[in-house]
Amino acid sequence: MKVAVLKETNPNESRVGLVPEGVKFLMKKEIQVVVEKDAGLDAGFLDSMYEGEGATIAPDAASTTAGADVVVKVLPPAVTEVGVLAAGQILVCSLQPSANLDVVRALRDAGVTTMALDLMPRITRAQTMDILSSQATVAGYKAVLLGANAVGKFLPMLTTAAGTIRPAKTLVLGAGVAGLQALATFRRLGARMEAFDVRPAVKEQVESLGAKFLEMDLSADLEDEGGYAKELSKDQHEKELELIAGSIRDADVVVTTAQIPGRTAPILITREMVESMKPGSAIVDLAAETGGNCELTKAGETVNHGGVLVLGPVNLPASMPYHASQMFSKNLVTFVMEMRNKEGSLNLDWGNEVLSGVCVTFQREIRHGPTREALG
């Protein structure tokens, strides 16, 4: 079996799908690895490190994928890149199929088998293959650093000869994977923390990180079978905004992470709430790419509204490419092993809910993801 690692072509992407440690693991399983020249360079992994673990370096994309059974990448390929993939090859990457219909169409028509790791079922067994979780961990951590950097304040309490500094107050909205990591990071920096999520199940996790959980009676079960949040009714949403308004006005740093799968992000911070905040405070909106949790967020920009900074970072994991790639690579290697049978050969068993859950294109058909109508 042979795995090919492509270099990312998007100029804003610095991660790599497989790191040298992953090569070492695959080589032990007698899986050959070919890496495109400089694929890991921006993430801190030199070609010589891959070679040191037994990989071969190929000069370009076409020679990397030639003869490979599995091709790995971080981002979806551009339509123009699909030409380097052959019918029957298995592409494993993050695909966001409904946002990339042209690519899905091209992969289907080329006969490529596409495995979208971002569609990984949220079952316990699949946690080690879940790129949404691993990359959200990176984003949650980095959001706190961005927020801390944006305010002219210390986060911890300090007692110094030059006076006593009170700890900053922080607020995290949405306490899923990214939100909990943000709380853990705020805690390490010594900040006071409050957090809110519509899923009451996270209260205990929030409190175990030393944060105060903002409670409200939503009188409904707002968690679906997949563990994700459901959309709130108008009344519930108004109640939620009231609760947040009460906490946000004295917050120094706010991190928002709230998402509803397949929908635009809910607005949790209105313009009035931003105007109630102290100048010099900051909001880091991790939902910027899906519309934002703050009314004033602009994806990829920092908005200064009366002295309150609203940061809308995009693709934060790419800003920490070393560890983001290491975690992505671990998810990917585990997934590659999931596609093999006991004898060590490729075996796409569609009775396996992990494989059937992530497969978007197979034998020129769509198995999962966009409908025929959407693809035209």
Binding residues vs ligand NAD (CB under 6 A): 122-124, 126-127, 130, 132-133, 136, 173-179, 196-199, 227-229, 232, 240, 257-261, 266, 268
Report the nearest approach of ligand NAD to the CB of residue 320 (Å). Answer: 18
291 φ/ψ sector (left φ>0, alpha ψ -120 to 50, else beta): left
Alpha-carbon dihedral of residues 307, 313, 318, 320, nearest 10 degrees?
30
Task: Report the residue number, 167 or 174, with the smaller CB distance to ligand NAD.
Answer: 174
Report the nearest approach of ligand NAD to the CB of residue 15 (Å). Answer: 19
Q: In whole angstroms, how far apart are CA 164 and each of 55, 167, 247?
A: 55, 10, 24
Catalytic residue among 38, 228, 322, 356: 228
Task: Report the residue number, 109 or 235, with the smaller CB distance to ligand NAD.
Answer: 235
Report the nearest approach of ligand NAD to the CB of residue 343 (Å). Answer: 28
Annotated catalytic residue 363: no
Shortest Cβ contact with ligand NAD: which residue?
176
Task: Report the residue number, 67 or 261, with the smaller CB distance to ligand NAD.
Answer: 261
Q: What is the DSSP letter of 234?
A: H
SS (H, E, C) 21-67: HHHHHHHHCCCEEEEECCCCHHHCCCHHHHHHCCCEEECCHHHHHCC
Annotated catalytic residue 133: yes
Specify burial of residue 152 (Cβ count, 10 A radius: 0-12, 13-18, 19+): exposed
Task: Report the residue number, 34 or 320, with the smaller CB distance to ligand NAD.
Answer: 320
Report the nearest approach of ligand NAD to the CB of residue 130 (Å). Answer: 5
Task: Report the residue number, 189 or 206, with the smaller CB distance to ligand NAD.
Answer: 206
Q: Where are the alpha helices (DSSP H) in the chain?
A: 20-28, 47-52, 61-65, 101-109, 131-150, 177-188, 203-208, 234-248, 271-276, 321-338, 353-358, 372-375
Catalytic residue among 102, 125, 127, 250: 127
Report the nearest approach of ligand NAD to the CB of residue 81 (Å). Answer: 28
Rounded-to-integer distance, Cα 48 and Cα 168, Å: 45
Report the nearest approach of ligand NAD to the CB of residue 114 (Å). Answer: 21
Question: DSSP letters of 127-159?
Answer: GGG-HHHHHHHHHHHHHHHHHHHHSSS-SS-EE
Rounded-to-integer distance, Cα 290 and Cα 282, Å: 20
Alpha-carbon dihedral of residues 118, 120, 121, 125, nearest 10 degrees?
-140
Task: Report the residue number, 52 or 261, with the smaller CB distance to ligand NAD.
Answer: 261
Catalytic residue among 96, 122, 276, 322: 122
- Six-digit token pair at 63? 């020679």
- Six-digit token pair at 156? 């911890």
- Six-digit token pair at 302? 């920092």
Catalytic residue among 69, 130, 197, 285: 130
Annotated catalytic residue 252: no
Annotated catalytic residue 228: yes
Catalytic residue among 14, 133, 236, 326: 133
Report the nearest approach of ligand NAD to the CB of residue 20 (Å). Answer: 26
- Six-digit token pair at 299? 């994806």
Task: Report the residue number, 176 or 312, with the smaller CB distance to ligand NAD.
Answer: 176
Annotated catalytic residue 208: no
73 touches 17 (CB < 8 A): yes
Q: Which residues carry out catalysis?
A: 122, 127, 130, 133, 228
